[in-house]
Amino acid sequence: MAVSIGAAPRSTRERRRTGGSAGARTLASTFAGYFILIFFALVFLYPFVIQIANSFKTEPDAATHPLSPLPDPVTLGAYEKVFLNTDLPLWLGNSLLVTIIVTVGRVFLDSLAGYALARLRFPGRAALFSAIVAVIAVPGVVLFIPKFLVLNQFGLYDSYTALILPVIADAAGVFIMKQFFESIPVSVEEAARIDGAGVFRTFWSVVLPMARPALLTLTIISFQGTWNEFPHTLVAVQSPELFTLPRGLADLVSGSLGKGTQYPLKLGAAVLATIPVAVIFVVFQRYFVRGANEGAEKG
């Protein structure tokens, strides 16, 4: 980014040298550029405006003026209904519980494995790493029924364990952590080891503190992925008491509660499902960006 900012004045100067018409063309293309950017910003963001606005509308208002960003009258009726007449508080609790446990578990287990694959010499390391890469390549959709079969066989189906355990470690996270640990210099660890610290001790108090950016990236993509996870909940649980927010929301839309349109209510629930990730996105945007590009690297 710094490079491009520094380069901007130079390129304008060069363009100006070529004459007035080029300057006019630059102006025109700047204008066109902004037009396209603003148009697409509207396309990408207005659905969220519609979502939020309509969750504060009455049902007739949402039905007659779906496009309007201003509720008339503003009402909290939909949210009252969501909290009092649906199991949403329960789903919210389940989602929080599952997401926090899975995120903490993933960050810890993935960094342990990533560190071992990057630094420790043990027999079978290369083969194991190939296996991890192969696992990343398995299309998730193929595992729906298989995961159910295993959970069912072990008697775990329809439990919190079924929601948490199968996803508490992920191959992509191991890959990200391994790449990161390989990028930091070995010398610090070696110093610690020479001072007599054991392998775990070195990992825990010397290496992990240096890995903060990678850990934060992994925390954020794990949180986002687990919070939004839907298909896994379909094959892991069936009792409404174990529904997470996406599962409950899907049930709300297609199931018995979805009778009639009740769009403000559904959109309100969707808003609540979006808020945590939206907040984290705004605060930690650059880690999201990094996460997306780590994804590119692993492919």
Partner 1 sequence: MADMTAPAGGPVTGARRPRLSAAAREGVAGWLFVAPVVVILGLFMLLPILMALWVSLTEWNGQGSPFRAGVPFVGLDNYARLFTEESLARQDFMTSIRNNFYYVLIVVPAQTVLALGLAVIVNSRLLKGRTFFRAAFFFPSVTSSVAISVVFLFMFANSGAVSGLLNLFGIDGPQWFSDSRGTLHLLLGALGLVDPDAPPAALTDGGPFGLSWWEWLSGPSVAMTTIIMLVVWTTSGTFMLMFLAALQDIPVTLEEASRLDGAGRWQTFRHVTLPLLKPTLFLVLTLGTIATWQVFDQVYVMSQGDPAKTTLTPAYLSYKTAFRNFDYGPGTAISFVLFVIIVVLALVQRWVLRDRDAVPRPGRRTRRGKA
Site for partner 1 in 167-226 (CB under 8 A): 167-169, 171, 174, 193, 196, 198-200, 203, 224
Scanning 38-46, 77-85, 184-192, 207-215 for contacts with partner 1 by CB under 8 A, the matching segment is 38-46
Residues in the chain: 299
Q: Fill in the DSSP letter of residue 205.
A: I
CB of 24 to partner 1, least distance (A): 14
**Of these, 13, 20, 21, 43, which contacts partner 1 (CB under 8 A)?**
43
CB of 187 to partner 1, least distance (A): 17
Q: Are 249 and 273 in contact (CB under 8 A)?
A: yes
**Of these, 36, 70, 191, 283, which contacts partner 1 (CB under 8 A)?**
36
Is 138 a residue that touches partner 1 (CB under 8 A)? yes
CB of 100 to partner 1, least distance (A): 17
Q: How far is it, in rounded angstroms, from Cα 258 to Cα 48?
A: 21
| Nearer of residues 85 and 125 to partner 1, judged by Cβ | 125
Scanning residues 263 to 292, which ones bind partner 1 (CB under 8 A)? 263, 266-267, 269-271, 273-274, 277-278, 281, 285, 288-289, 292
Q: Are 229 and 244 in contact (CB under 8 A)?
A: yes
CB of 114 to partner 1, least distance (A): 9
| Nearer of residues 11 and 85 to partner 1, judged by Cβ | 11
Task: Note the helical H segments in the chain.
Answer: 2-17, 20-55, 59-64, 77-85, 88-119, 125-137, 144-153, 160-164, 171-183, 187-194, 199-202, 208-210, 212-228, 231-236, 245-254, 263-283, 285-298
Look up residue 203 and give its two tokens.
Answer: 């990992």
**Which residue, 286, 54, 298, is CA-closest to 177?**
298
Is 51 a residue that touches partner 1 (CB under 8 A)? yes
